[in-house]
Amino acid sequence: MALSTSTAGSVLSAEQITNIVTVPLQKASVFLSSGVKIIDSHGPVRIPTYTGSTSPSWHGENELIDEVEPSFDEVLLLDPKIKSIKSLHRYSNELARQSIAETIAAIQTRMVNDVAGKIDDQLIAGTAGTPTGTLPLGLLNYTGVQNMTAVGTPSLDDLHDAEGLALGAEVDPTQLKWLMNSRDLVNLRKIKQATGSNMYALQPDPTEAGKYRLLGHEVIVSNRVPKNLGAGTNESAIVLADFSKITVARDMAPTVTLLRETFGEYDQQAIRVVCRYDAAPVNPEAIVVLRGVTA
């Protein structure tokens, strides 16, 4: 149903509104700004991956040199089956004329943010969809990653164990970042140095408001990491990863199109927002997932 002057209510009336338009709070979109590598392409992308060592040997003077054969694989992104996210919002020309410009701009901004959030949800925790392979696979469902299962209430030792798995896979520790739900960050920050102590084991950086670090690694806090990953439970997951080892193929970033004549028989305009992405890890071992995390 198209939005009109009557259904929009007085909030959208030029007589009742100032230049400030308030919109509801929403989850922040974080995945695309986490450090992933983004490639712009309008067609399928094939990324060769090196999968094995050539195992060179020591040789003496005039000795036959062993032949080595590197092994390769590939990651396919933007398969033609991958769907786009699309959103359409109609509104009457009366509303367009009677509302202040900031209102329509706010609608556009909110639509773009909602579409970006939708792709963020998919790239973090989404499945391949039905039929299989029509949606990008989410980070928590990648194959080949390193897993810590049935973590339960997370402890500092669990964080050290996750870092140990990453270091064991030769991941550069300076590139590692955490990704977790806000609930899990708060619970970790409540850990005391000792029973009965008033001193917390983890201290925030007093020089950077809103910045968090655990074991020296940046923490990306997002409630787009679900808390209902276990059936009938409140289980979530914590990720420690070098996000530069994840490649995102971008066919189209969230793009706004104003349709002035499409619904002309109704004397309406419309805003359309479209985007299309795909993502996959080029080195899954650079990702450690702590699963079964509870409050």
The domain limits of the chain are: 5-50+72-293
Q: What is the pLDDT of residue 17?
A: 36
pLDDT tier, 108 (very low <50, low <70, confident <90, very high otherwise): confident
Lowest-confidence pick of 8-17, 47-56, 68-77, 154-163: 8-17
Average pLDDT of the residues of the chain: 87
More confident residue, 57 or 97: 57
pLDDT tier, 118 (very low <50, low <70, confident <90, very high otherwise): very high
What letter does residue 135 receive in the DSSP assignment? S
What's the whole-number mean pLDDT along residues 35-52?
89
- 219, 177 in Cβ contact below 8 A? yes
- Which CATH number does the domain 5-50+72-293 belong to among 2.160.10.10, 3.40.190.290, 2.40.160.20, 3.30.2320.10? 3.30.2320.10
What letter does residue 287 receive in the DSSP assignment? E
| Residue 263 phi, psi dihedral angles, 5° rounding | -110, 35
Q: What is the pLDDT of residue 244?
A: 96
pLDDT tier, 193 (very low <50, low <70, confident <90, very high otherwise): confident
205-243 pLDDT, tens digit each: 666 777 888 999 999 999 999 999 876 678 999 999 999
155-188 pLDDT, tens digit each: 999 999 999 999 999 999 999 999 999 999 999 9
Helix residue ranges per DSSP H, the chain: 5-8, 93-98, 101-125, 156-168, 182-189
